[in-house]
């Protein structure tokens, strides 16, 4: 039987296990990326491993999240990251140079390679035929140390594309339609692979927009074939020598298949406050808009900003709208300026910001109270924007610029003819600020500001676990709920004692006090617990506060892996009806926990206020050893 693109890459990198769906495998990682919000902790973890230099083909340290230097914290972290890159042999992309995923596409991505990134939108690389996976920082640190990456062999979900996108409809609308049909849980356990005659109609940046936004399906990753369009993109970047053809075999089989006729799609929009709350733009047209943001890792390419600029050539931004542009990279800025489109944006009334993530992670650009903000971003979880009770809609650049002009949500087809534009055959590279690895960094001194705290140490679990239910949550709890982002909290990413003061602050402002008063705690949750960002702080900070057990209806993939990495037991209800029997504050006992872990027990009996609830521990034998050791670092040191 033939193989899919994803299966071919997995097979070429397999180092442990067999490619049987649902079984744990380990793959070799060619390349890694980190961004500063997760990277500071990832490098503290890498240092704890104790090797002198990264062992990957290439690893890149990006600064793209914590760009606002309101005090010393972010600036200190930037110096720390630069010195880390110099000492351990990484490329370094400094603040203002651009978003990790956009730059990786332009300057580092190659088809057929594996990429592990400490950011959930790492699958952007799948747009050029990479197997690019988001993970926690500790997993990335282990990969930089030359260790394999472990994952459960996913099923392959085939997305057959046919037809051609119509004017004012973009690749963004393909994924919005998928989210509408499948929801934020629809890709859990799958790699989403795109095939069919419609694929050739999409450029690499179109494809990257889809694979980036595909993280919101909960998928392991998303991937496109590497074809003539991929070759053309690499040629435009001066990197044609890295191209290889990589397509699915004619007799490849997918575990699930869904077909999307792109010619039938209309402009779509995700309403507050979930990426899968999707409707046609025409259904919500007319609502007044106060803010429109174009950028983020989903839609900040030259193509995206040229669409906006060409639409604005004979138009002005509404005086009622703050219209803001976050370019994806310095390359995008250079080429936009060289083509004259930057002047168009300025004349039309756009606010041009530095190349970076900014408002997508809550680092500035918060919308006004009780107003609508349209964003080409991948997430609109509640209060992620920085404004309580926000009303954030997610859309394409076409829908965004239409709203900027009219001051209300507008079907862009109402603007008339679609603007024409041509992307350059050869891009200005825009990479002069990227610092290559030193041949020998052994003499480099690591710069550590006062906000960089040592990595905490965690003890193994006791023979019998006793504690209490510190918090009971509902469904679809995101990592933003657990460990919020924003300009106040993000600068504390390298200081676990400080950032732990904000754990669950969006849900229960009393959580931290209760946790500190309890030696051991459990959190109970609903379906899809831990969806969203890969931030391992959503596991690490609760663990620092004494959370050692999480009992939920189901977990998001990356968060479950992060819990195991820091020694938190990830349990799920055998009978979801038992969720109703658990009350916050209840006393909990798990008899002979270490014996159950070591013996391979899948069903763990949890005693809660006299009731015995059956919980499932769905982990590998390796995971059990990690949990018994109290976390991945403890386990690795004992090897």
Residue numbers annotated as active site: 64-65, 119, 379, 533, 535
Parallel/antiparallel/unpaired status of strands 569-573 and 221-223: unpaired
Dist CA 163 CA 174 (whole Å): 12
CB 97 within 8 A of CB 330: yes
What DSSP state is assigned to residue 529?
Answer: B
H or E element, residue 73: helix 72-88
CB 400 within 8 A of CB 293: yes
Dist CA 323 CA 234 (whole Å): 32
What DSSP state is assigned to residue 554?
Answer: -
Identify the residue whose tokens are 């991505």: 109
Q: Which residues pair with 611 in a beta bridge?
A: 608
Name the 3-class secondary structure at 166.
Answer: coil
- The DSSP string of 83-146 is HHHHHHT-EEE-TTBB-HHHHIIIII--TT-EEEESSTTGGGGGGGT-EEEE--HHHHHHHHTT
Dist CA 499 CA 535 (whole Å): 13
Quick count: other Cβ atoms within 10 Å of Cβ 242? 16
Dist CA 548 CA 557 (whole Å): 18
Dist CA 371 CA 606 (whole Å): 46
The tokens describing 264, both together, are: 């039938």
Dist CA 428 CA 431 (whole Å): 9
Residues 6+ apart with CB under 8 A from 278: 176, 177, 179, 180, 268, 269, 270, 271
Instruction: Give the burial string for 252-272 (b: 16+ CB within 10 Å, else e).
Output: bebeeeeebebeebebbbbbb
Number of H helices, E strands in the chain: 21, 26
- On the question of a cis peptide bond just before residue 273, with omega within 30 degrees of 0, the verdict is yes
Dist CA 429 CA 521 (whole Å): 51
How much helix, strand and coil, in percent to the nearest 5, is found in the chain? Answer: 35, 20, 45
Residues 6+ apart with CB under 8 A from 610: none
The tokens describing 431, both together, are: 């990479």
Quick count: other Cβ atoms within 10 Å of Cβ 535? 30
Dist CA 388 CA 78 (whole Å): 29
CB 236 within 8 A of CB 424: yes
Identify the residue whose tokens are 């034998």: 621
Q: Residue 18 phi/psi, 5° resolution? A: -120, 150
Q: Which residues pair with 252 in a beta bridge?
A: 2
């Amino acid at each position: 039987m033939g193989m899919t693109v994803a299966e071919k890459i997995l097979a070429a990198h397999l180092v442990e296990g067999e490619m049987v769906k649902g079984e744990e495998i380990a793959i070799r990682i060619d390349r890694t990326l980190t961004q500063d919000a997760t990277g500071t902790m990832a490098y503290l973890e890498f240092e704890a491993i104790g090797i002198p230099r990264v062992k990957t083909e290439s690893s890149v340290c990006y600064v793209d999240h914590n760009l606002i230097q309101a005090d010393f914290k972010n600036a200190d972290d930037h110096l720390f990251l630069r010195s880390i890159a110099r000492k351990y042999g990484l490329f370094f992309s400094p603040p203002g140079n651009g978003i990790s995923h956009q730059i990786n596409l332009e300057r580092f991505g190659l088809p057929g390679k594996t990429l592990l990134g400490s950011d959930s939108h790492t699958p952007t690389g799948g747009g050029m035929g990479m197997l690019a996976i988001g993970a926690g920082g500790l997993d990335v640190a282990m990969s930089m140390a030359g260790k394999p990456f472990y994952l459960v062999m996913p099923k392959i979900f085939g997305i057959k594309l046919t037809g051609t996108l119509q004017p004012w409809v973009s690749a963004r609308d393909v994924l919005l339609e998928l989210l509408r049909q499948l929801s934020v849980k629809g890709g859990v356990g799958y790699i989403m692979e795109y095939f069919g005659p419609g694929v050739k109609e999409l450029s690499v940046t179109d494809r990257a927009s889809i694979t980036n936004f595909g993280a919101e399906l909960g998928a392991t990753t998303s991937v496109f074939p590497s074809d003539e369009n991929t070759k053309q993109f690499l040629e435009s970047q001066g990197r044609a020598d890295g191209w290889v053809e990589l397509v699915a075999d004619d007799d490849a089989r997918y575990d699930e298949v869904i077909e999307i006729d792109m010619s039938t799609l209309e402009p779509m929009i995700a309403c507050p406050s979930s990426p899968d709350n999707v409707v046609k733009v025409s259904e919500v047209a007319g609502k007044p808009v106060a803010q429109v943001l174009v950028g983020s890792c989903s839609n900040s390419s030259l193509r995206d900003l040229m669409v906006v600029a060409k639409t604005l050539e004979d138009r002005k931004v509404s005086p009622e709208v703050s219209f803001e542009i976050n370019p994806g990279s310095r390359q995008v800025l250079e080429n936009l300026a060289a083509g004259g489109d930057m002047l168009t944006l300025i004349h039309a009334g756009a606010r041009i910001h530095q190349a970076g993530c900014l408002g997508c992670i809550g680092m500035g650009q918060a919308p006004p109270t009780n107003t609508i903000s349209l964003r080409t971003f991948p997430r609109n979880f509640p209060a992620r924007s920085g404004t309580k009770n926000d009303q954030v809609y997610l859309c394409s650049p076409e829908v965004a610029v239409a709203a900027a002009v009219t001051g209300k949500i507008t079907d862009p087809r109402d603007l008339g003819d679609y603007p024409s534009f041509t992307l350059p055959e050869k891009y200005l590279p825009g990479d002069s600020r990227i610092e290559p690895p030193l041949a020998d960094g052994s003499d480099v001194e690591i710069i550590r500001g006062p906000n960089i705290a040592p990595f905490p140490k965690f003890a193994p679990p006791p023979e019998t676990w006793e504690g209490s239910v510190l918090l009971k949550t509902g469904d679809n709890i995101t990592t933003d709920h657990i460990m919020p982002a924003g300009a106040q909290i993000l600068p504390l990413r390298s200081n676990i004692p400080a950032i732990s003061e904000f754990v669950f602050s969006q849900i229960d402002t009393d959580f931290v006090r209760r946790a500190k008063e309890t030696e051991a705690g459990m959190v109970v949750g609903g379906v899809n617990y831990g969806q969203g960002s890969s931030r391992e702080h959503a596991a690490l900070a609760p663990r620092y506060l004494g959370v050692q057990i999480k009992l939920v209806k189901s977990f998001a993939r990356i968060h479950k892996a992060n819990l195991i990495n820091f020694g938190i037991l990830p349990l799920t209800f055998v009978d979801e009806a038992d969720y109703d029997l658990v009350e916050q504050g209840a006393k909990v006992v798990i008899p002979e926990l270490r014996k159950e872990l070591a013996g391979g027990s899948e069903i763990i009996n949890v005693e809660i206020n006299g009731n015995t609830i059956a919980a499932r521990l769905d982990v590998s034998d390796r995971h059990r050893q990690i949990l018994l050791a109290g976390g991945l670092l403890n386990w690795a040191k004992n090897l």
